[in-house]
Structures are given as C-alpha cells and as structure tokens.
Structure 1
Amino acid sequence: MDISGATGALTGEQYKRSLHDGREVWLDGKRVENVAEHPALQPTVDEFARLLDLRFATPEARQATLFKSEETGNEVSYAFSLPKNREELRAKFAASEWWMRESLGQLGRSPDFMSNVVAGLVDYADELEQNREGFGENARNYHRFAMENDLVLTHALGDPQIDRSASPLDDPDLALRVVEEREDGVILRGAKQLATLAPFSHEVLVYLNGVTAARGAEDFVIWFALPMNTPGLKILLREPLGAPQSGHAHPLGNRYDEQDAMLFFDDVFLPRERIFLLGDSLRALKGLSRINVWSLQSTHIRFLARMKFFTSVAKKLAHSIGVDTFRGIQEQLGELISYVQTLELAIKGAEADAIVTPAGHLAPGNSNGVGFWSADISARMVQILRQIAASGLIMQPTEADLANPELRPFLDLYMRGHDIGAAEKARLFRLGWELAGSSFGMRQELYEYLHRGDPGAGRTRLLRFYDTSATDARVDELISKPLTSA
C-alpha cells in the first residue's frame, strides 16, 4: 500500500474533510450526503476533531500521544507502536490514558482501541503468512498504511441475528462469505454487525464470525480491511441517541454517541492486498487473542476512566441532596471506589506481567478475566447511581425552564439542592441521567456487557485454559492420605 502522500497525525479539519468521501450511509430511510455536516452526526464528528486537534495543543499532549515514524519522519499515534521494551510499553499506554481521560471513558471505539488491534495484527503476521503467501506482508503493509495516514477504524465481528439456531452452512445468507475468489481478490456477500463508529471511521476491519470453527466453513473465514467508501458497501445506522428532545440537553449523548451500524456487502470486491487470512479456521481462532494483546489493555484503561467519572458524578449527586452523610450511601460510594482501585491494580499488574510475543514485541500479561469482571461491575455501577439519585434522575428542569422568569422563583425554591443552586443541580442530575437512565446510558451499558465478548463463553474459556495444575497437585497430595486433626 502506497504511503508516499501520507502526512501522519490528522488535524481535526483534515479528519472532517476525509469523511466526505462518497460513502453510502443510511439514517432513517435517507442517505446521508455528508457525515460531518448531518445534524444528528456532526456533534460526534466535532468531538473527534477536537480530540485530534488536542494532541497538538501543548507540548505535553504531543509528547504523550505521538511519536516520529522511523520510515517517514511523520508524527504518528502511539497506539500503532510495537513496543520492544518496558519504556516503550509504558509510552504506548500513557497515550491510551490520555485518550481515555480526555473522553471521560465514554468512547469505546476511540482511535486508540482499533489502532492497537492493527498493532496486534502485524504482531501475528508470521502466522498469517503461513496461511497464504503474501498475507503476512499484507498485514505489515496495512499497519504502515493505517499508521502513516492516521486512520480512524472500526470493526464488525458479529453475524446478522436472523436465526441463530440454524447454520450458515445450510443457509449461507446467515453470515458474510466469499462468493468468488479471483487472482486479484475476492467478492464478498452478506452482512456484519455491529460496527460501532462506522460512519465516523475511514475503514473497517473484519476478523471474526460465528462459524469460524465449523467444518466446511472455509468460505466464511476471512480477515480483511476495507475503506468505508468501497462500492457496494452500505452502512445502515441506528437511531441517534444524542439529538435534543423537547429542549432537554444530552451532554454526553450529544458528544459521545459513536453510532452503531449494520454493514451490507452487496457483492463487494476486496483486493488481495487487503486480505490477511482466508479459509483457515484454526489459525483464525488462535489469532483472536493474539491480535488483541494491546487493545484489551486499552479497553481496561478506558473503563477505568469511565468508572472514575461515574464515581465523581455519584459523589456529587449524593452531596447535592444531602444524603452523603447516610451510612448506606457512604457504603455504596465506597463500593464504587473499591472497584476503581481494583481495576487500577489490575492494569498495573498486567503491565508488570508483560510478556514477549512470538514476534518479539512486549505485551501486557493475560487479563481476560478482568474484562468479564468489568462487564458485571458496569451494571452494578449503574444500579448504585440510580439508588443514590433516585427519582431526581427523572424530573429536572430544562435550560429554557431555568431561563423563564415566571418559573425561576419556583425552581430556585423547590428544585435547589443541599448547597447547590437549581441550575447547577439540574445539570448535575442530567449527567446522572445520561449515565444511568437515558437511551445513551443504556446503550453504553449494553456495550460494556458485550464489548469483550459474551461473558459466559469467556468464563468457560478461562476454565479451560487457566493453569491450576500446581494448586491441583497440592490438593491431590492433601487427600491422598487420611486427614488428621493434629
């Protein structure tokens, strides 16, 4: 892939212009002509542009998020880096911390996440080369291309929810598949879900489907990257969650609604240079954990930022209505802090337990169990915030209510807080509603539950692969002879 014209890290304005590329995006039955200017999508585009620009705002931000490419001299994102030592690993995750802190942990598909997946892809290149000659080189070339062009990426991993009791081997329309293989590439037909960030991304990575391990499923097993403006690729968006309704502000949903999409592949041509794996179920299964060795840590770091934001909002809500002196409320707030501390230690532990990958890069130790714990803790955080704020989450005045001189005296008298005015209290409770009650908040919670994979299936994998042999041997030794009370 040609990087001769690549300029490295994008500015916000460059990013906005790049989205006007002819992609076929559909929202509420109408085609979106320009994602960056559509009223339901523009606020999120503006927020991404702000974050991209923020990298250049101060020397500290620049140092935290960008490094110089050895090949071109361009400034590129640390998320694409391939660390060889602990100093480089720390720099990589310091950049993740910057991204997640600046976005309050609300962007599950921030550029930091998928860029780390691309780093994992190139780390797996030697194995991909064993699948077919040239596929490993394709992965390396794509890593360079994405890094030097500062691509914002999404992924689409799930098959359509048509009939999960049936097999795509019997009904091929149940999963994305290769319908024709040519010397220069393949033709793809089918659909993929759920592509978070699809309208705001430059490209999509596909590297998983529900029939990967099935015999005879070779036509369904493919890893690839595709530009969002590829002919034949249709992007169907769900209902926006941040659009103002009846004057009520949606401060988080408006800025951080990443959107989710169905992708329809209508006989899409995929060039061979963009294919990384084809028809190899076992290598695909093995590679799923390998390519996420850095992105999982990025996810933990994001969730920690989200937990901290949740905790601060919960504390302020409790104080605003004078319940923070109640023993039960203090216990709940302390519970939130205990989760924050636990995840902080887990993140540090994974980095301290860093391992050398087969490709010679340094990656965090295995922390899959932490991800499944996080899925449960996220729901508990929502529950605690709801219990603390109670009915106040539902009834708060709008900015127009607050500006009405006839209403304002009543609001100041009956909707003020413990030591906070009616206006500030309403805005605080609006944040609480966004986290624990709004459509945006409920979408975020569902995302947390599903993002790391099905928790039940994940725990089953932990049972199969976690090594308990040393402790098992101690138990066997204890029960091999009569137990005594002495």
Structure 2
Amino acid sequence: MLRTGQQYRDSIRDGRRIWINGERVKDVTVHPQFKPLVDIRARIYDLAHEDATRDILSYEENGERYSVGLKLPHSRDDWHAKRLATDTILEDVGGVVTRVGDETAGEMWSLYDGQDILNEVDPRFSVNIRNHIQRVVDRDPFHVSANTDPKGDRSKRPQDQDPDMLLHVVKETDAGIVVRGAKYETAAAYANQAFTKPTIANWGNSELSDYAVGFVCDFSSPNLRFIARTGFAGRAPAEDYPLANRFDEVDCLVIYDDVLIPWENVLFYQHTKAAAFIRATLHRYSAFAFVQRNLKLADMLIGAALWNVRQTGLENQQAVQEKLATLACYREGINAHLTASITNAEKSPGGLLMPNQSLLMTGRVHACSQLHHMMHIARELCGGQICVTPDAASFADEEAGIWLKKYYTLNENWDSNDRRKLLAFARDLLNSDYAGHRLTFQLFAQSPPFAHLGAVYRNFDWNDALRFTKKSAGLSDRILTAQR
C-alpha cells in the first residue's frame, strides 16, 4: 500500500483553493514557494521503494509493505525502527523537516489510548478512531494536524464574540456535521488530510459545547480555503540561503466555510471533558518525533560552528572548546532523553508501547528551552563574518570576485568558494528570517513552554521523592493522610 512520490503529487492536484502573496495557486506541486517541500515529501515516499532504504522506511505484513513511521508502536524495536527511519530521511534530504507525516500520526494514537474515557462520555466514535488509524496505515496519506484557531478575545467565551473565532459545529445532518471557523496548519496546502482538534476554550462549566469537536478532514473537501503566509523559498538566491530555499514548510490559515464532515470522520464531539483529555495527552507519542528533529538541528549547529573554528585555526583555544562542549552537552542531553525514553518505555492505556512520558517530556523542555541559547553560542563561534559576507553573485563577478577570492581564501585546504558556502549556510541557519521562523515555530509545532512544563508536572513521579524525604527526615505517617 506504499505510495510513490508521483502518486502523492497526483493526489494533491485536486482543485483545492490556495492563495499566497495575493495570488491564487494553480498547481501546488510546481509553485516555486511550495515545490521544494512537495519534492521532499515525494522523495520520502520514493525512499520507501528504493533498494538501499526500503527495509528501513517500510516493513512487510501479509504480502504488503507499509510505512514504518505510521506503524502502531507495540515494542521497543518498533521505536528503534522509527528513530532509524527518521534519521535516514533527514540524512537523505540534508536537513531538518518538521511536518512530513510521521510526527502527526502519533497524535491519532493518543485517541486510540483514550477510547475508554471517550466511551464514558460518548461511545459513538470509538470505531471511527480505530478505522482511521488503520486507514492511515493502509493508504499512506500525507497526514498533518490542525492546531490553533485565531481565538479572538480570550477574555470572553467564544459564544460571546464572533463565534467563528474558534472552529465549531453549526449544523448536524444525516450525512455528518457542518463546521465553520479557521485553523492554522503547517503543510496543509500540500497534505492530504488533517486530524483537526479543538483549542481549549473558555467553556466555563459547560459539559457540552459545539466547539469541542475533533475530526479527520479531507483537504479535497469543498468549501475549504488555504491562505498561506509568504514563503522563504525563491525570495533570495539558493546559493546565499540554502536552507530557506529547501526546507520552508509553509503554514496556512485554513478556512472552514461550512465544511461537511461525514459522521465516519468524526472522532469526538460536544463533550468538553473529552476535548480537554485529548489536548492534555496529545503529544504522548508525537513529541518523540519533534524532539528527534531538534537532535538533527543540534548536529547542524555543532557542524557549522566546528567547521568554522577549524578553518580559522581557533579550535585549540580553551574558550572555544568550552563553547563547543556546551553545544555537545545540549546535543547529548537530547540524545540521552530520547534513548532513555525508549529503554524505559511504558505500556499505554490502550495497550501500545509509549516512550517513558517523564523522560520524553523533560527531554522536550531541554531541547526547546535551550535552543535559542545554543543558536547564540553557534553565532559566537561562527563570528561576525556571517552577517557581513557579500552574496554569491559578487563572488562570481569578474572584477569583484578577484578581491573576494583573495580575502576569503584561508589556506590550501579552504578556498574562497568553500568559505563562502559555509558562511552562507551558517547565516541561514542562525541569522536569517528563516532562522528566526524556525526558532519561533517551536512555540507552534511543539506548543508553548508553559504547556511543556505542564506535561512534565503531569508525568513526573513525585511520590518517590516524597517517600524518600519522609524517611530521611523521620516524618510521621500522619502526613500521608494530610497529603491525600
């Protein structure tokens, strides 16, 4: 059931209505600001068919091959296979991509785990959850997620302002529910479907709400509109901004203008308890894939900084080594949390094997909260030339290029061309609009810092620290009763 890259491209030529920079997009697969990531997603599909990578990115079952990234995790071997598959993809494409499908499939597994709680409030939709998870495995779609709404005035209930500020149900029909509103969604313009979930709203004491709804939305559905932010690809030459031109995953405001969601695509509806539960457990699995991407980003920071100090002969200075060691500690801290979360993996409520939640969530805090510090350390190590170096066209100029060759050639091993390429890469990684977007995107793709720390609070085992301190301090048993 594995798709090819061409089958993926054909699947998104479905007449969807997309705008970017005030322009209606005729074909998202060839538009210059979408094409680089469409090509990468197509490349990922094709990797699963190539001899060298087929057995890393796919597995065989009952005579068919399926994606490793979309497989429900039941063992540590499953998680090791997922990690290897992601590393293989990132190695092949040469950098970090955030939304390519495997990371958002995990959000559906959280629904799978929550079936008992969802059944308590409304038993209608469990079969839909199971069917959709299996459908993702069987059909291999590019599956993303619909995250936050415009929200409006957060001091008010959604019902007390323009009701469309939060996505909500406006009508029930025999065929399904009709929804209206908007969602910010990365990669929506060139994905096949999204798990659309609610933003936690100011519901008060409401048990039922038309805003508490989760469903799978087919992006070929009528009455959807995709309004994209300006992309980075094509804004400046690729020679000067190599990352921005390859890895910009364009985000959209997706408008749901009375979109019909068939009943079989509805995963939960109306019950605020169910919606709150899903939001609290949403990243139980998907956080692993996002944090693993931070690991590869850490490798890029270290590589850019280390190549720079080596080519300029500064690697043996103690102050430089201390900064490089700080970057290494950041990188290995991420690696240790990921490795330990698999080693100490735990059974989920639905019988799956999930990464150890305390280790995974504390690893996410480490990876995200320290990223801006690590980027600044890498800037220091790369030096001021990343912000003053002329562009590639000047290096190629018949007259100016002579002078740039003279002043940017370091020795017989580092000529001006390699020096320029490294500085351009570092500038795009650390200083460009794209670099700032990547850093800010952490607050969207992985949720804001308070939510990260909230997940740690919910998953850390506080009892052992209390037990040990009670014993060490000689406290009486009465405090156990008071604690309860």
Structure 2 length normalisation: TM-score?
0.91
State whether structure 2 residue 235 is matched by structure 1 residue 241.
Answer: no
Q: Tell me what 1:363 maps to.
A: 354
Q: Distance in 2 between matches of 1:32 and 1:294?
A: 34
Q: Could you tell me how far 1:165 is from its partner in structure 2?
A: 3.0
Q: Distance in 1 between matches of 2:368 and 2:288?
A: 15
Q: Tell me what 1:106 maps to.
A: 96
Q: Could you tell me how far 1:478 is from its partner in structure 2?
A: 4.6
Q: Is the 8 A contact 1:304 1:343 kept in 2?
A: yes
Report the identity percentage.
Answer: 24
Q: Distance in 1 between matches of 2:427 and 2:347?
A: 44
In structure 2, the CA distance between the partners of 1:388 and 1:87, relative to structure 1 (3 Å rule), is closer
Within 5 A, what are the aligned runs for 1:176-215?
176-193=167-184, 195-211=185-201, 214-215=204-205
> After alignment, is 11-20 or 396-405 more displaced?
396-405
AA aligned opposite 1:189: R
* Among 340, 349, 353, the residue aligned to 2:340: 349
In structure 2, the CA distance between the partners of 1:382 and 1:89, relative to structure 1 (3 Å rule), is closer
* Among 448, 451, 455, the residue aligned to 2:449: 455
Offset from partner CA, 1:347-386 (integer Å, 9 cap, x none): 1110011111222221211021211221112111211121
Q: Tell me what 1:426 maps to.
A: 420
In structure 2, the CA distance between the partners of 1:169 and 1:56, relative to structure 1 (3 Å rule), is same
State whether structure 2 residue 58 is matched by structure 1 residue 66.
Answer: yes
Q: Distance in 2 between matches of 1:246 and 1:299?
A: 29
Offset from partner CA, 1:80-131 (integer Å, 9 cap, x none): 2123333333323332332343345521112221123334433444544444
Q: Is the 8 A contact 2:57 2:85 kept in 1?
A: yes
Q: Could you tell me how far 1:428 is from its partner in structure 2?
A: 0.7
Q: Is the 8 A contact 1:247 1:399 kept in 2?
A: no
In structure 2, the CA distance between the partners of 1:9 and 1:261, relative to structure 1 (3 Å rule), is same
Q: Distance in 2 between matches of 1:314 and 1:434?
A: 13
Q: Tell me what 1:87 maps to.
A: 77
AA aligned opposite 1:196: T
AA aligned opposite 2:279: L
SS in 1 for 2:194: strand
* Among 400, 403, 406, the residue aligned to 2:399: 406
Q: Could you tell me how far 1:465 is from its partner in structure 2?
A: 5.2
Q: Could you tell me how far 1:274 is from its partner in structure 2?
A: 0.5
Q: Is the 8 A contact 1:212 1:220 kept in 2?
A: no
State whether structure 2 residue 245 is matched by structure 1 residue 254.
Answer: yes
Offset from partner CA, 1:163-220 (integer Å, 9 cap, x none): 2333213122321111112232111111112x11111211121123131764336111
Structure 1 length normalisation: TM-score?
0.90
Q: Distance in 2 between matches of 1:76 and 1:461?
A: 32
SS in 2 for 1:279: strand
Q: Could you tell me how far 1:142 is from its partner in structure 2?
A: 1.2
SS in 2 for 1:211: coil
Q: Distance in 1 between matches of 2:39 and 2:69?
A: 21
SS in 2 for 1:219: strand
Q: Tell me what 2:478 maps to.
A: none
AA aligned opposite 1:319: R
* Among 203, 211, 215, the residue aligned to 1:224: 215
Q: Could you tell me how far 1:35 is from its partner in structure 2?
A: 0.2
Q: Distance in 2 between matches of 1:179 and 1:450?
A: 27
In structure 2, the CA distance between the partners of 1:166 and 1:290, relative to structure 1 (3 Å rule), is closer
Q: Tell me what 2:136 maps to.
A: 146
Q: Tell me what 2:315 maps to.
A: 324
Q: Tell me what 1:160 maps to.
A: 150
In structure 2, the CA distance between the partners of 1:98 and 1:280, relative to structure 1 (3 Å rule), is farther
The number of residues matched between the two structures is 471
> After alignment, is 415-424 or 470-479 more displaced?
470-479
State whether structure 2 residue 286 is matched by structure 1 residue 292.
Answer: no
AA aligned opposite 2:58: L
Q: Is the 8 A contact 2:404 2:416 kept in 1?
A: yes
Q: Could you tell me how far 1:400 is from its partner in structure 2?
A: 2.5
> After alignment, is 105-114 or 87-96 more displaced?
87-96
Q: Distance in 1 between matches of 2:124 and 2:66?
A: 25
Q: Is the 8 A contact 1:131 1:277 kept in 2?
A: no
SS in 1 for 2:157: coil
Offset from partner CA, 1:286-315 (integer Å, 9 cap, x none): 233545332221222221112112211111
State whether structure 2 residue 145 is matched by structure 1 residue 136.
Answer: no
Q: Tell me what 1:468 maps to.
A: 462
AA aligned opposite 2:355: P
Q: Distance in 2 between matches of 1:136 and 1:326?
A: 61
Gaps (5+ residues) in structure 1?
A: 1-7, 482-486
Offset from partner CA, 1:251-277 (integer Å, 9 cap, x none): 111111111111111111111110001
Q: Distance in 2 between matches of 1:91 and 1:464?
A: 28
Q: Distance in 1 between matches of 2:316 and 2:254?
A: 50
Q: Tell me what 2:480 maps to.
A: none
Q: Distance in 1 between matches of 2:203 and 2:298?
A: 36
Q: Distance in 2 between matches of 1:300 and 1:103?
A: 18
In structure 2, the CA distance between the partners of 1:69 and 1:34, relative to structure 1 (3 Å rule), is farther
SS in 2 for 1:94: helix
Q: Distance in 1 between matches of 2:423 and 2:313?
A: 14
In structure 2, the CA distance between the partners of 1:85 and 1:39, relative to structure 1 (3 Å rule), is closer
Q: Is the 8 A contact 1:204 1:227 kept in 2?
A: yes
State whether structure 2 residue 368 is matched by structure 1 residue 375.
Answer: yes
> After alignment, is 31-40 or 461-470 more displaced?
461-470
SS in 1 for 2:250: coil
